């Protein structure tokens, strides 16, 4: 792939990962990004799968989830293209070691993998402005295999939301407390009647 990497995230995938973090404000959350390489080598992120709010970094739970995720999405021609993370502390704006480690695992299988980190400060500012940019930061691996924040002046890639009005829809979801409906893999392991695919979330 030549030139800078470009990532495009769909509205539902974007909103779901933010709602997952809002549901568990006092703990770290994480999840998997699903998609494919589209035209012009753009990585299209079409879904996000909420994984955990309590067992962050626990490899057996992660491996179990990845097997089920790959089985479900492989038949649709999609695969794991990245990882998302929300830090426990509101003021923690760094990509931590657990997020980097899980990102490293995904990078082995998908070299263009992206790691998305929820930016609490951008999220807090959202109702006050008319921002159309994502309330997240994103990271890709540079030539030295280091996770580097994208979108900066050093040309570390670009992340856009497919639907420009997604932040307006996100605010509606927040005001209606839609985040209460999000089910992650932890919830599913506690009660298998809860569907980690969240099929009714946007209906």
Structural domain boundaries in the chain = 6-190
The DSSP symbol for 53 reads: S
Percent of the chain with pLDDT over 90: 65
* pLDDT tier at 128, thresholds 50, 70, 90: confident
**Least confident interval from 14-28, 83-97, 117-131:** 117-131
pTM, full prediction: 0.92
Q: Residue 155: what pLDDT?
A: 46
**Token output for 164:** 């420009």
Q: In what order do the strands lie in the sheet with 147-149?
A: 147-149, 136-141, 114-118, 79-86, 29-37, 43-52, 6-9, 158-161
Mutual angle of helices 11-23 and 166-175, in 10-degree steps: 30
The DSSP symbol for 181 reads: G
**Token output for 104:** 């490293």
Does residue 156 surpass a pLDDT of 70?
A: no
| Candidates 3.40.50.620, 3.40.140.10, 3.40.190.10, 3.40.718.10; CATH matching 6-190 | 3.40.140.10
- Characterize the bridge pairing of strands 29-37 and 79-86: antiparallel
């Amino acid at each position: 792939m030549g030139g800078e990497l470009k990532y495009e995230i769909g509205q539902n995938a974007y909103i779901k990962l933010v709602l997952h973090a809002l549901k568990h404000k006092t703990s770290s959350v994480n999840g998997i990004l699903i998609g494919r390489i589209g035209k012009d080598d753009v990585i299209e992120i079409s879904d996000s799968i909420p994984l955990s709010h309590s067992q962050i970094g626990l490899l057996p739970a992660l491996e179990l989830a990845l097997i089920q995720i790959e089985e479900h999405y492989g038949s649709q021609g999609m695969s794991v293209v990245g990882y998302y993370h929300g830090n426990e502390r509101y003021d923690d704006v760094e990509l931590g070691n657990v997020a980097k480690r899980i990102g490293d695992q995904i990078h082995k299988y998908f070299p263009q993998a992206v790691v998305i980190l929820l930016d609490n400060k951008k999220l807090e500012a959202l109702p006050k402005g008319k921002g159309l940019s994502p309330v997240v930061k994103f990271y890709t691996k540079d030539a030295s295999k280091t996770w580097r924040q994208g979108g900066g002046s050093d040309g570390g890639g670009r992340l856009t939301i497919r639907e420009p009005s997604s932040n307006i829809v996100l605010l509606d979801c927040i005001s209606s407390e839609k985040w209460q409906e999000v089910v992650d893999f932890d919830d599913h392991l506690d009660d298998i009647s809860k569907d980690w695919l969240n099929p009714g979330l946007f209906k």
